[in-house]
A and B are shown apart, each in its own frame.
Chain A
Amino acid sequence: MRRRFNVSMLFVLLTVWGLVFAPPAYAYIDAGTGSYLFQLLIAGLFAGAFMIKMFWKSIKAFLKSRFSGLGKREEDDE
C-alpha cells in the first residue's frame, strides 16, 4: 500500500513538472491549431474520466484479491 502511494506521488509530481516545463511541440505533419487547442481543452475532462476508470479498476482488483484471499484462507483453515 505504501509503495502504491509513492508511485502515485511520483506520478503527480511528474505531471506537474510536465505542465510547468514542457516545450512547445513541432512535428513534420500539421497538428492543426484547432485540433491542438481542442486537445488542451478536453484534456482535463479525459484525465478525470481516465482517473475514475483506473480508480474503479483498482477497487475492483482490490476487492477481487481480498475476497479470493479470504476464500483461500478459509480453504487453508479447513
Chain B
Amino acid sequence: MTNRQNIPGSFRDPSGFLFHRDGVLYRQVNIAYQENYDSLIDSGLYERLVADGLLIPHQEADLAYAQSAEVYKIIKPEMIPFVSYPYEWSFSQLKAAALTTLQIQKKSLDLGMSLKDCSAYNIQFGGGKPIFIDTLSFEKYREGQPWVAYKQFCQHFLAPLALMKYTDVRLHQLLRVYLDGIPLDLASSLLPFRTRLVFPLLCHIHLHAKSQKHFADKSIDMTGRRMSRLGLLGLIDSLTTIIDRLQWQPTGTQWADYYTFTNYSPQALEHKKHLVGEFLDGLNPKTVWDLGANVGLFSRVASSKGIQTISFDNDPAAVEKNYLECVSNGETNLLPLVADLTNPSPGIGWENEERMSLLQRGPADTVLALALVHHLAISNNLPLDRIAAFFSHICGSLIIEFIPKSDSQVQRLLSTREDIFPDYTPAAFEAKFSKYFTVESSAKIRDSERTLYLMKNRTVPV
C-alpha cells in the first residue's frame, strides 16, 4: 500500500510538481518541460550549480512512480531539514537568498539558460546556506528575450529588502500578506523620498511601479520588442550591486541587548547551560526547536551536539544577530527564524495550503522553552493550560523553565499592570502541564529562583 500525496505549494507551474510517496519526496517532470530539463542537464548547468552548492541535487527515480500520463521524468531531490519562508527570515537571510538567485541567473545565462521564475520560495536554507530548490525553474535563453522573472524578483526580494532597510525592518511581514511579493506601487508609496535619489531604487522600484500602473489596462503587441543580452546582463548586474549595497544594523530593539540586561549571574547562566545539555544528552533528539531563542545562546547547546536546531524569536534584530553568528562560525545545523508564538505563521495561499503553518512543519523531537512561559502567561494573558496544550502539539519532549513571580524579570513585567494571575505559581504550572506531560526531571538553577523541567509528552503530537 503506497501513500501518495501531491504537495499544494507546487501546482502552479505546468512543468511539473512535487509529491510524497511513502514519506519520500519526489518531483514529477512533465513532458511539457522535456526540452528545458534536457538543456539543464546537457548544458552542464545542473552539474555546475550543484557543485557550487547553489542547486539542490537530485537523483532520477523509477518512472513507475509517475502521478499522471504527462510524465517525462521522476526525480528525487535531496531533502531540506526544515522548510522556512521569506516572512520568517531576517534581513541578511533574505539578502543572501536574493544574491544566490542572481548568482544562479548569471551562471544560467553563461550556459544559455535563464530563470523563468524568481520566487523567494524557491530558496531554502540547508546546511546554513541558501540553496535553490526548484529544479524546474530553468528555461533555454532566447536571444532578445527580456527577463520574464524581473517583476517577480523585484517584488520578492528588492522591495522587501529596501522596505526593511529604509522604512522598518518588520515590513518583511508584508510577504505573509502578498504571496507573490510586495506590489511595487505599495513599496514605492511606503519608501521614503530619499530612496528616489538612489538610482537603482528609483529605477527598479519607483519608475518600475509607474510603468506597471501606466500599462496596467493597455493591450500591447509584444512582437518584435527585444532586449539585448548586454542589457539583460546589465540589469542583473544592477540588481546585484544594489542588493549587495543594502545593509541593516540590528540596534535598539527589545531583545537585541537582552543578555547584557538579564538578571542572571554568570554561575546561573553556566548552570542553566549545563542542565540543558544534560537533559538533551538524556533525550538524544534529532530535531530541536528553541522557542524564544533570542540570539541563540541555548540553541547552540543543542546544535553543537549535531542536532538539527531551529532557533525562533519574534525580534528580527535578535534573529539577524543569530544568523550573522551562524555565518561567521560556519554553523551548518542551526537555522534562526523570526516567529511570533502568539501568532505563528498560518497556512497561506490557495485553500490556505500553498505555504504550511508553523505547526504543520512540526512536531520537533524536543522543544526548549527557556525564560518564555512568563512572557506568554503574563505579557500575553495566555492561561497556563492553553500554553501546555500548545506545547503538547509541537514536541515529543520539553525542556522548560519556570520563573516565579518573585524573580525580578517577572516583577518587571508586572510593574506596569494589575496582577491578575493568581494561578501563576510553580504548583499550578506543574498541575496544568501534567495534563499533557510527565515530569521526568527537574532542577533548581543555581544562584536563581528558577526551575528547569524535563517533560515527556503523554499524547502523540499532531
Residue of A nearest to B180 (CB): A29
Q: Is B358 an interface residue (CB 8 A)?
A: no
Q: A24-B222, A53-B237 are in contact. Are A15 and B230 (CB under 8 A)?
A: yes
Q: Which residues in B have their C-beta under 8 angstroms from that of A34?
A: 208, 211-216
Q: Is A6 an interface residue (CB 8 A)?
A: no
Q: Is A59 an interface residue (CB 8 A)?
A: no
Q: A22-B144, A39-B235 are in contact. Are A29 and B152 (CB under 8 A)?
A: yes
Q: A29-B148, A34-B214, A34-B216 are in contact. Are A46 and B116 (CB under 8 A)?
A: no
Q: Which residues in B have their C-beta under 8 angstroms from that of A33?
A: 212, 215-216, 218, 220
Q: Is A43 an interface residue (CB 8 A)?
A: yes
With the chains together, A53 CA to B236 CA distance in Å? Answer: 13
Q: A41-B211, A47-B230 are in contact. Are A27 and B216 (CB under 8 A)?
A: no
- What 0/1 readout, one digit per residue, does chain B (183-227) give for beta carbons within 8 Å of chain A? 000000000000000000001000110011111101010111111
Q: Is B411 an interface residue (CB 8 A)?
A: no
Q: Which residues in A have their C-beta under 8 angstroms from that of B152?
A: 29
Q: Is B255 an interface residue (CB 8 A)?
A: no
Minimum CB–CB distance for B108 against chain A, Å: 15
Q: Is B143 an interface residue (CB 8 A)?
A: yes
- What 0/1 readout, one digit per residue, does chain A (21-47) give for beta carbons within 8 Å of chain B? 111110111111111111111111111
Interface SS of chain A: helix
Residue of A nearest to B208 (CB): A38
A18, B12: Cβ atoms under 8 Å? Answer: no
Q: Which residues in B have their C-beta under 8 angstroms from that of A24?
A: 222-225
A23, B237: Cβ atoms under 8 Å? Answer: no
Minimum CB–CB distance for B205 against chain A, Å: 11
Which residues of chain B in 142-164 are interfacial with respect to chain A, using CB atoms and an 8 Å cutoff?
142-152, 154
**Chain A, interface residues (CB within 8 Å), range:** 35 or more
Q: Is A14 an interface residue (CB 8 A)?
A: yes
Q: Which residues in B have their C-beta under 8 angstroms from that of A46?
A: 231, 234-235, 237-238
Minimum CB–CB distance for B203 against chain A, Å: 6
Interface SS of chain B: loop
Q: Which residues in A have their C-beta under 8 angstroms from that of B216?
A: 33-34
Interface hub of B149, B203, B228 (most chain A Cβ within 10 A): B228
Which residues of chain B in 226-266 are interfacial with respect to chain A, using CB atoms and an 8 Å cutoff?
226-235, 237-238
A43, B149: Cβ atoms under 8 Å? Answer: no
Q: Is B117 an interface residue (CB 8 A)?
A: yes
Minimum CB–CB distance for A39 against chain B, Å: 4
Q: Is B13 an interface residue (CB 8 A)?
A: yes
Q: Is B397 an interface residue (CB 8 A)?
A: no
B14, A28: Cβ atoms under 8 Å? Answer: yes
With the chains together, A17 CA to B215 CA distance in Å? Answer: 28
Q: Is B322 an interface residue (CB 8 A)?
A: no
Minimum CB–CB distance for B433 against chain A, Å: 48
B227, A40: Cβ atoms under 8 Å? Answer: yes
Q: Is B15 an interface residue (CB 8 A)?
A: yes
Residue of A nearest to B237 (CB): A50
Q: Is A19 an interface residue (CB 8 A)?
A: yes
Interface hub of B116, B145, B227 (most chain A Cβ within 10 A): B227
Q: A22-B143, A43-B227 are in contact. Are A32 and B151 (CB under 8 A)?
A: yes
Residue of B nearest to A16 (CB): B228
- What 0/1 readout, one digit per residue, does chain A (43-71) give for beta carbons within 8 Å of chain B? 11111111101000000000000000000
Chain A contacts to B: CB under 8 angstroms: 14-15, 17-25, 27-51, 53
Top 9 closest pairs, chain A to chain B, by CB: A22-B144, A18-B143, A43-B231, A46-B234, A34-B212, A50-B234, A35-B151, A38-B211, A27-B148
